A and B are shown apart, each in its own frame.
Chain A
Amino acid sequence: MVLALAVAQVAALALILAALYRPLGDYMARTFTTDHDLKVERGFYRVIGVDPKSEQTWQSYLRGVLAFSLVGVLIVYGLQRAQAALPYALGFPAIPPGLSFNTAISFVTNTNWQSYSPDVTMGYAVQMIGLAVQNFVSAAVGIAVAIALVRGFARRRTGTLGNFWVDLTRALLRILLPLAIVTAVVLIGTGVIQNFHGFTDVTTITGATQSIPGGPVASQEAIKLLGTNGGGFFNANSSHPFENPSALSSLFENVLMLAIPFSLPRTFGRMVGDKRQGYAILAVMATIFLVSLTALTLFEVHGAGTAPQLAGGAMEGKEQRFGVLASALFGSTSTLTSTGAVNAMHDSFTSFGGMMNMINMMLGEVAPGGVGSGLYGMLILAVIAVFISGLLVGRTPEYLGKKIGPREIKLASLYILVTPTLVLLGTALSFGIPAVRSDVEGTSIWNPGLHGLSEVLYAFTSAANNNGSAFAGLTANTPWFNTALGVAMALGRFVPIVFVLALAGSLAAQDKVPATSGTLPTHRPMFVGLLIGVSIIVTALTYFPVLALGPLAEGLH
């Protein structure tokens, strides 16, 4: 029975995503290859002073990404500091500087880590014009960077990658906004609220009182998930009945998180002129997704651990309408993309279930990953995979007709090193600096013992990989975590983007070498298997020791 239900749920999700793959992937490819600008876009380009026909070098493209993101940080920071003066603040005061810094970086980097509890911190104004706007634009930045990398493979002997402002605008106006409008209305249909009522005080049938919140939730929920952002309107995130009212809405929310990341391989295949290359990348993503989901589901259904055994099931931190299966699915989807939304509390998952959430993020969020970031992360791994296979047979490695030479492999390797360095360094410093350690152990950690280490490890894994989910018992609104996680999020987002765009520039400048009998075909099952292997081995070797100290030790105890 449980098995049948689990399979049915995944089959339904897979069918919907399969139906979207070609139309959405092709539509996105057309969006970024057409010469035609919409009338509204032409007006917008005039306002911001950009010539949409002008092409940018990788350095110029990068400058656009960084300038746009820095302006975003300053605006979101400023809005939070000025909250008390804004309308619909719900009486909440200005957000303190440390928290404002962390939150601004968090939303601009597509992370949506929340050191605060929105219910008691954020008014409607900051959520709408600060956070939800970043939910749109940070997702669009991710898509733009991925498209620039794909152009690097697709183009030959050129110094340019397209125009960042055009890619950004098209990602917003032609992809994210139309999808968000439609899906926000569907979400309201399932019961997600959309109003400006503030709190409604009611007297219950027992004579008690309850203060029921309002808010523009559906509009934010739609883009929170479509853009793989994950920052909840409420503290309970997508477990809150007003964000996710039913098992049906929960399945729909899974679709929203996965639709764009799982369709981008089609866009990639289209743009490089070989749809089979897209299917190969899709196969890698889907295989890792299914294996990871199966493992997490088994761990939660099995319900090992003292408390789950005592209660007769792993239902602590889970909603009755979702149960174990829909909670395991949502957790997997959220951590395998860069979303970080939750419909159940990951801190209360079984030891191994919680570890799967961490491993999903440690994989670099590539199966299928965040919007855009998942595709560029997987393409970096593909570059490493062809390099390794080239070493094995002693030939110069090529991918899609581009030589993977010393410069390319250096950039790909540097990309791979960034997040593990941030995760391990951040975790180590949290316990290695005596003053920090006493603060972390005394103030921040909620669950004692091994699980406390897992909370800190989870936090840095989530921040550096721009996921945003948490072992939420951790009190992160402290000077140490606001600062360290803020730095981890910023470096975890933008340093890899520098390497991706540099790689794109170097690939675009090359001519294409014709495939010969010695070229490794990158659309066949053998390459799919190789790429899966590379993805997992890179992660496993890096993180096994620290996992052994936290969730592995707890689960085996």
Chain B
Amino acid sequence: MSSPRNTFRSYWVAIRAMLVFTVGLGIAYPLLITGIGQTALADKADGSMVSVDGRIVGSSLIGQSFTDADGNALPQWFQSRPSAADYNAAASSGSNWGPENADLIAAITERKAAISALEGVSPDQIPPDALTASASGLDPQISPAYAYLQVPRVAKARGMSEETVHDLVTASVHGRDLGFLGEKTVDVLELNIALQAAAAQ
């Protein structure tokens, strides 16, 4: 039974075991994975960074805002989803507002009106991803429906034909993974980089 000597012995074993595990699992293991990742899959291990003209402009996985300093949409860019984190990649977060929260209901109502005015569409045409904040606050993607909705406004702001911009969106639509997982997406940064390149031509 539980004599003090046995108890003491258990702790002495536990301390030694934990120290060995800490070195092996806490230091050697992550360093091994880092070594493999940095050798074989460096681009991905480094965060799938995207460059334009040799300059890093972001990560293809991390969403960005395309607004002015006051948060107003810049009309010449496709807009990302609303974000509870303001696309601050150093502090990911969702809104955590519940389904009956008055603040959330007010925010959706406000976004509906703002997008309706900006894009010149009727409020019931706006897809849900455009009206709701993502889980991470860093969602890099929007639905194809929200991307197509923005085509006329972007084309007008840039003096490009709607057809050209529409084709850019179509080229940016990613199907579901393996054809059946998740949702169809448009990567906003990728699309805006393609847009910028097309506009420069």
Contacts and interface: CB of A to CB of B under 8 A. Distances in A.
B7 A128 contact: no
A202 B58 contact: yes
Contacts of A446: 96-97
A165 B98 contact: no
B17 A351 contact: no
The 3 closest A-B pairs by CB, nearest first: A247-B182, A305-B99, A473-B96
B29 A219 contact: yes
Nearest to A352: B99
A310 interface: yes
A321 interface: yes
Contacts of B131: 310-312, 315
Interface in A198-254: 199-200, 202-206, 208, 210-214, 216, 218-220, 222, 234-236, 239-242, 245-248, 250-251
8 contacts: A133-B22, A193-B45, A251-B177, A310-B105, A310-B109, A321-B141, A348-B94, A447-B100
B45 A447 contact: no
A117 B33 contact: no
Contacts of A38: none
B13 A67 contact: yes
Contacts of B185: 320-321
With most chain B CB atoms within 10 A of its CB, the pick from A72, A180, A248, A317 is A317
A240 B140 CA distance: 10
Nearest to A344: B135
Contacts of B150: none
Contact of B33 (A120, A216, A473): A216
Contacts of B49: 200, 202, 212
Interface string A336-380: 000000111101111100100000000000000000000000000
B199 to A, nearest CB: 11
B127 to A, nearest CB: 7
A510 to B, nearest CB: 20
A26 to B, nearest CB: 25
B90 A317 contact: no
Interface stretch (B62-70, B152-160, B164-172): B62-70
A241 B138 contact: yes
Interface stretch (A29-37, A41-49, A261-269, A485-493): A41-49
A399 B99 CA distance: 46
B98 A348 contact: yes
B177 to A, nearest CB: 4
Chain B contact patch, size range: 35 or more
Interface in B68-121: 74, 77, 81, 87-102, 104-105, 108-109, 112
A192 B139 CA distance: 15
Contact of B181 (A239, A247, A308): A247
B182 A326 contact: yes
A190 B29 CA distance: 19
Given A196-B34, A202-B56, A210-B89, A240 B136 contact: yes
Contacts of B62: 210, 212, 241-242
Contacts of A447: 96-98, 100-101
Given A194-B34, A347-B98, A307 B129 contact: no
B25 A218 contact: no
Nearest to A119: B91
A119 B92 contact: yes
B100 A9 contact: no
Interface string A299-322: 000001111101111111111111
A342 B135 contact: yes
Given A59-B2, A195-B38, A347-B96, A326 B91 contact: no
Given A205-B57, A218-B37, A236-B135, A67 B90 contact: no
Contacts of B21: 133, 136-137, 172
Nearest to A320: B141
A168 interface: yes
Contacts of A304: 99
B196 A205 contact: yes
B57 A132 contact: no
A318 B135 contact: yes
A47 B16 contact: yes
Interface stretch (A181-189, A426-434, A523-531): A181-189
A554 interface: yes
B33 A448 contact: no
Contact of B64 (A196, A210, A473): A210
Contacts of A39: none
Contacts of B201: none
Nearest to A176: B25
B37 A50 contact: no
A67 B109 CA distance: 55
Interface string A87-123: 0000000000000000000000000000001011000
A449 interface: yes
A67 B34 contact: no
Contact of B74 (A185, A206, A347): A206
Contacts of B56: 200, 202
Given A64-B13, A239-B94, A137 B18 contact: yes
A206 B10 contact: no
A515 B191 CA distance: 69
A128 B27 contact: yes
A306 B62 CA distance: 30
Contacts of A272: none
A64 B99 contact: no
A161 to B, nearest CB: 15
Contact of A67 (B14, B97, B99): B14
B2 A63 contact: yes
A325 B181 CA distance: 9
A9 B19 CA distance: 42
B58 A191 contact: no
Contacts of A448: 101-102
B86 to A, nearest CB: 11
Nearest to A353: B99
B89 A212 contact: yes
Given A132-B26, A239-B136, 20 more contacts: A5-B180, A60-B6, A67-B7, A117-B91, A128-B30, A189-B44, A241-B63, A307-B105, A313-B132, A315-B132, A318-B134, A319-B136, A321-B141, A325-B182, A348-B98, A447-B98, A448-B101, A451-B101, A472-B96, A473-B96
